[in-house]
């Protein structure tokens, strides 16, 4: 039995693992389908103090640091959690394996909110993407749409502008008030980024008589745009579907520490009412790790 099972290998989970493993607690991280979570998709990190490089590189550094103190990292995803602190928790995973532990840290983060319009599901992976750094290469020299108006949309647009011929940002409000000023300024300075305000997407379909896989996108004001791809950046929802209904969640599926059963802790983007930043994820990971150590020490 492990002392602590950490769900998620983003900055929150890996920070918690560093603290618990360094305190000589037997620690396993169930890292999901990729190391680093959303952080891994950031091409260049500018707002995490002390680091210059990509998110994927930072994730690998954090993983190696936690492993130095004995943490184990397995790339599986939790399907369900049963048990309690008194008798031990059991985490059933997508590969059929079960992990037993005295405590649980939920750090499964958040996933991009899916676009719910005609054609969005049909063209998923064939023109509709939720990861610019994953799929941007396929649109070199082409025209793409970025849907959204926050920091994620700005970063996606700037990344794609280095690859695509033209980037069109479509946003339902009149200005990018949610995005940081430095990102807005960079977007304004790019000649190949165009912004369409006060509109949204209504329908995605194949462009008639196109041999290149072009899409015909209809906006809510009935304009039509021809583009090769659509990159969606309209917010995130917490990855907590595997939890039982008795565990309270807010409207975004996030968790408040005070609402969790004894022996369960939360960190990162799944933590209720915090800013979704790497720095805050690391802070809550530190808090969860230290709380787990104190809880285990009290039990022994």
The catalytic site residues sit at: 131, 134-135
Q: Is 2 helix (H, G, I), strand (E, B) or coil?
A: strand
Asked if 228 and 142 touch (Cβ cutoff 8 Å), the reply is: yes
Burial class (CB in 10 A: 0-12, 13-18, 19+), 274: middle
Place of tokens 């700037």: 158
For residues 77 and 269, what is the distance between their CA atoms, to the nearest angstrom?
Answer: 17
Q: Is 87 helix (H, G, I), strand (E, B) or coil?
A: coil
Are β-strands 224-227 and 215-219 bridged in parallel, bridged antiparallel, or unpaired?
antiparallel
Are β-strands 27-30 and 110-112 bridged in parallel, bridged antiparallel, or unpaired?
unpaired
Q: Which residues are within 8 A (CB) of 133 and not within 5 positions of it... i.e. 6 or more apart?
A: 41, 42, 43, 159
Asked if 283 and 291 touch (Cβ cutoff 8 Å), the reply is: no
């Amino acid at each position: 039995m492990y002392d602590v099972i950490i769900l998620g290998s983003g900055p929150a989970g890996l920070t918690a693992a560093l603290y618990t493993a360094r305190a000589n607690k037997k620690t396993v991280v169930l890292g999901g389908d990729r190391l680093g979570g959303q952080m891994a998709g950031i091409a260049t990190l500018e707002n995490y103090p002390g680091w210059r490089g990509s998110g994927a590189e930072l994730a690998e550094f954090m993983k190696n640091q936690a492993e130095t103190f004995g943490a184990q990292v397995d790339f599986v995803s939790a399907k369900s959690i049963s048990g309690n602190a008194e008798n031990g928790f059991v985490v059933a995973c997508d590969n059929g394996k079960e992990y037993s532990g005295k405590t649980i840290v939920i750090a499964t983060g958040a996933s991009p909110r899916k676009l719910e319009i005609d054609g969005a599901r049909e063209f998923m992976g064939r023109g509709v993407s939720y990861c610019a750094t994953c799929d941007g290469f396929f649109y070199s020299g082409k025209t793409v749409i970025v849907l959204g108006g926050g920091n994620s949309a700005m970063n996606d647009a700037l990344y794609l502008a280095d690859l695509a011929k033209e980037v069109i940002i479509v946003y339902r409000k009149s200005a990018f008030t949610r995005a940081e000023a430095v990102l807005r300024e960079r977007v304004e300075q790019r000649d190949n980024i165009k912004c369409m305000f006060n509109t949204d997407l209504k329908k995605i379909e194949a462009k008639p008589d196109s041999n290149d896989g072009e899409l015909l996108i209809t906006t809510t004001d009935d304009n039509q745009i021809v583009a090769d791809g659509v990159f969606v950046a309209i917010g995130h929802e917490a990855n907590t579907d595997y939890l039982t209904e008795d565990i309270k969640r807010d409207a975004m599926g996030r968790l408040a520490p005070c609402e969790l059963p004894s022996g369960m802790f939360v960190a990162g983007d799944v933590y209720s009412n915090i800013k979704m930043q790497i720095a805050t994820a690391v802070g809550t990971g530190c808090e969860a790790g230290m709380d787990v150590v104190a809880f285990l020490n009290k039990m022994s």
